[in-house]
Structure 1
Amino acid sequence: MAYTLQMKEPLNFNYLNCEPLHMEAVDGFHSHPYYEIYYFHTGKCNYIIGDQVHVLEPGDLILMHGMTLHQAHPEPVVPYIRTTLHFYPSVIEEYVQPEKAKRLLEPFERLSNEVIHLSNAQQTEVELIFTQMNELFQGHEERDFTYDRFVFKLCDFLTMTALFSETAMKHRRILSDKEEHLQRIITYLEVHYMEEINLSNIASALHLSKPYMAALFKELTGTTIIKYLYQRRINQAKLLFRLQPDLSVTEVSRKAGFKQISHFSRTFKQAAGCTPEAYRTSQGSWLR
């Protein structure tokens, strides 16, 4: 099931992470209320963000707004190495004037979740900054000067990536047939997740055979279409609880695409580890 990550500290930096993902436990799809910078060092990995599928190449940089449902699906037999940086926008806003902070955070606020294919020279520059950031992050104590230097280095990095993103749209890679089919399936789910749909509906609408469609989705994402559909609905429910705290659990269930409140409650608890009522209460407390 999809799940929403929370972060106790305002930022977290994970340099050259080579830990394998345990996809079987959570199917990989998740969201979080903070921004993410993801850099792909090596391996074979499909990265799915919303209704877009990206076949990553070493040196790819992703700037993500965390509330979009996303997952990495790496090839398990190939070493998978990535660097990730998660941070709340308040980290930047505390150190930079409002207009400057707005410009630095614009790639995240646009919700375009950009994937930037860096040149060799750009990769070298990014990896050097990550090395410097890692040295600072490993040595910092909360609110000391080393922490300040890390945040300023992050601001420098965001300034650099703003320049990279200006030309990113000009170099989109052409998708393979399988990737196009996967993107069409996810787009269909994004549009129709509130409706009663099944594999036959989707296959008919997209002019694909049901067995081929199911096998392709499983191959490229590591999960099934129906599991993804429920994940999408649960993610929508979490967004509604967070952004519209006055809605009742029944209203959220209906708006997220569930026809029976009992099914919603059971599925939500499996995904979030708590009941919808408890999650709603926790979000209300957070907003206060």
Structure 2
Amino acid sequence: MNEGNIRAYYRIKTEVSSKEEFTYHSHDRYEIYYCHSGNCKFLIGDQIHYLQEDDIIIMNGLTLHRANPELGKLYERSVIEFSAEWVRPILSSLKVPELLNPFQMLSNSLFRGGETAKLAEIEDLMKRIAAINVNNIKTNASNFENRLLEGEVSALLVQLLFKIYELSKLRLVKIPTVKSDKASHANRIAKWIEQHLDSNITLDNIADNLNISKYYMSRVFKDVTGYTIMQYLMSCRINRAKYLLEMHPDKSILEVALESGFENLSHFSRFFRKQVKITPTDYRNSKAIDFQSRQIESR
């Protein structure tokens, strides 16, 4: 079983001592995120959600996201990440492809206020998937053993997707982004950056375009997100580059660099390798190999 198909973590507990423990990141999987306890601002693209106990987020992992929990507090969550390419043929064979609709139509949404019984069912399924230890499948397991594991995991995931689909149909459960004054400013800054990512962005032109003091803007953004504006900008650029490298194999590395907002190829290559630990070309090749492996396993 390809470990990239699904990853599961149940009730991860962290006593937050540093904001650096939670970095902006992205991945090519859909994600179900269950908040059990702790005060946490969750950042997805240009959205900021203030999480409460039993909140559930569904998201497209390609969108840059990051948890920003309160320092010194215990933060507990469960996470399921799964490949849409892997699960889609399974759902099609069961004639329920609609189970992915919430991730496609309501992507990056927060759900709150579900019935206690339904939330308990969702948590139990997440617990059972994680208990199979899909993140540490032994490489020496036989093909039959791996197929048994994959069958069990996929059956549980389908049940979980049914529950998420039911939750998405409750009209009052989708919560809009909460916007305090600070969060509203941070939203505007993040949105402006994403809309102008391929431009030469400076703190001065962000401040001028949004009609806000550069110093106040910088302080507010760091307070809300835990990142400086320039750290967020460069994370967005790396995220776009990763997307272009994977999804547009026809584009040259230079084209990817320029469309991601880097001024030249050498700066892009150097910064990408520093952040991702491999070269842009190696990253593209590794994703192509992963895709081919998933295609073979789905046959």
TM-score, normalisation: structure 1: 0.87
The equivalent of 1:125 in structure 2 is: 118
The change in CA–CA distance for 1:222 and 1:246 in structure 2 (over 3 A counts) is same
Distance 1:125 1:227 in 2: 39
1:92 aligns with 2:87: yes
For these two proteins, the number of residue pairs brought into alignment is: 279
| Other structure's SS at 2:28 match | coil
- Are the counterparts in 1 of residues 24 and 235 from structure 2 also a CA contact under 8 Å? yes
1:138 aligns with 2:131: yes
Distance 2:120 2:209 in 1: 44
Distance 1:198 1:45 in 2: 29
The equivalent of 1:36 in structure 2 is: 31
1:242 aligns with 2:237: no
The equivalent of 1:3 in structure 2 is: none
- Are the counterparts in 2 of residues 40 and 81 from structure 1 also a CA contact under 8 Å? yes
The equivalent of 2:62 in structure 1 is: 67
| Other structure's SS at 1:232 match | helix
The equivalent of 1:15 in structure 2 is: 10
Q: 1:163 aligns with which of 162, 166, 180?
A: 166
Distance 1:259 1:180 in 2: 30
Alignment of 1:139-154 (within 5 A): 139=132, 142-144=146-148, 148-154=151-157
Shift of 1:22: 7.7
The change in CA–CA distance for 1:151 and 1:8 in structure 2 (over 3 A counts) is closer
Using the aligned pairs only, state the percent identity: 35
Letter in 2 for 1:162: Y
Gaps of 5+ in 1: 1-6
Alignment of 1:202-213 (within 5 A): 202-213=206-217
The change in CA–CA distance for 1:284 and 1:21 in structure 2 (over 3 A counts) is farther
Shift of 1:130: 2.2
Shift of 1:103: 0.4
The equivalent of 2:205 in structure 1 is: 201
- Are the counterparts in 1 of residues 42 and 50 from structure 2 also a CA contact under 8 Å? yes
Q: 1:49 aligns with which of 44, 53, 70?
A: 44
| Other structure's SS at 2:36 match | strand
User: CA offsets, 1:6-40, max 9 Å, x none?
Assistant: x8342122111103568655761111111110011
Letter in 1 for 2:249: P
| Other structure's SS at 1:106 match | helix
TM-score, normalisation: structure 2: 0.84
What is the Cα-based RMSD across aligned positions, in Å?
A: 2.5
Letter in 1 for 2:280: P
The equivalent of 2:223 in structure 1 is: 219
Between stretches 32-41 and 200-209, larger displacement belongs to 200-209
The change in CA–CA distance for 1:217 and 1:27 in structure 2 (over 3 A counts) is farther
Q: 2:71 aligns with which of 68, 76, 92?
A: 76
The equivalent of 1:4 in structure 2 is: none
| Other structure's SS at 1:19 match | strand
1:102 aligns with 2:97: yes
Runs of 4 or more above 4 Å deviation:
20-27, 168-171
User: CA offsets, 1:150-189, max 9 Å, x none?
Assistant: 4333322222222222315764364211111111010000
- Are the counterparts in 1 of residues 4 and 83 from structure 2 also a CA contact under 8 Å? no
